[in-house]
Amino acid sequence: MHSTPERLVGAWFAANGRDLPWRKTRDPYEILVSEVMLQQTQVARVLPRYLAWLERWPTAQSLAATPLPDVLREWQGLGYNRRAVNLHRAAQQVAEDGWPNDLTELPGVGRYTADALACFAFRRDVLPIDVNIRRVLERSGMQFGAESAQALMDLGATVCLARLPRCAECPVADLCPSRGRRYEPLRKQGPFEGSFRQRRARALRAALAGDDPGDPEAVAALRRDGLLST
């Protein structure tokens, strides 16, 4: 039988896929927590925090009933605290009105996160395209359905890497027009040390601990973003 790209990637995933807790649930809240945490944060760093979060707040209702400062304290160390604010607001909306048909109506939920929820929680036939999946699709020129989503994520994260793809390990290398190519490094974000982002993070930690942040500019920015009450 002819092996299609979907079958090849699926077989590779069965043998090499990462064992991640959010892949063992269809609960939309649990999947939303994972997707929000994974935005700009590495999987290894998210894993223990995800499990601890769900132990503390196992449902959208339990998170929604929690004061925002407590949520922000639990979020410390994951970075980009605005994500925690949006997750809290989304939980409040779900607790009050349920899950909307258009998932982008939830605070902080853009096209990719909505598609990930639709695919993994609600089993809709949509392929959520994150940076890893986009890389595989663009380089290979191949088309895949929603059933290949997790496999493509892992393929992009562990084999079809941004700069130096491991083509020798790729299940569709023989069909890929980009096999053997190397790529220029992507533009990196500016250093955190000494940045205004660091000042904001330091001010937020101090405020949540009940201390004087001592940085009016950072505090003003935090208040504008809803991270601190006025």
More confident residue, 123 or 204: 123
Which has the minimum average pLDDT: 23-27, 39-43, 109-113, 206-210? 206-210
Could you give the C-alpha distances from 87 to 16, 32, 159, in angstroms and in order?
A: 31, 8, 31
Euclidean distance between CA atoms 71 and 48, whole angstroms: 16
Mean pLDDT of 137-164: 97
Residues whose CB falls within 8 Å of the CB of residue 84, separated by 6 or more in sequence, listed in order: 71, 72, 74, 75, 78
Euclidean distance between CA atoms 176 and 80, whole angstroms: 36
pTM of the model: 0.82
CB 57 within 8 A of CB 94: no
Residue type, 162: A
What string of DSSP letters covers 2-70?
Answer: ---HHHHHHHHHHHH----GGGG---HHHHHHHHHHHTTS-HHHHHHHHHHHHHH--SHHHHHTS-HHH
Euclidean distance between CA atoms 174 and 176, whole angstroms: 6
Euclidean distance between CA atoms 184 and 38, whole angstroms: 24
Active site residue 55: no
Which pLDDT score is estimated for 89? 98
Which pLDDT score is estimated for 125? 97
Task: Judge whether residue 206 has pLDDT over 90.
Answer: no
Tens of pLDDT, residues 164-198: 999 999 999 999 999 999 987 766 656 667 676 67
CA dihedral sign, ordered 187, 193, 194, 199:
positive
Domain 27-120 falls in which CATH fold?
A: Endonuclease III; domain 1 (1.10.340)
Of the residues 35, 96, 184, 217, only one is catalytic, namely 35
More confident residue, 145 or 225: 145
Domain boundaries, the chain: 27-120, 191-230
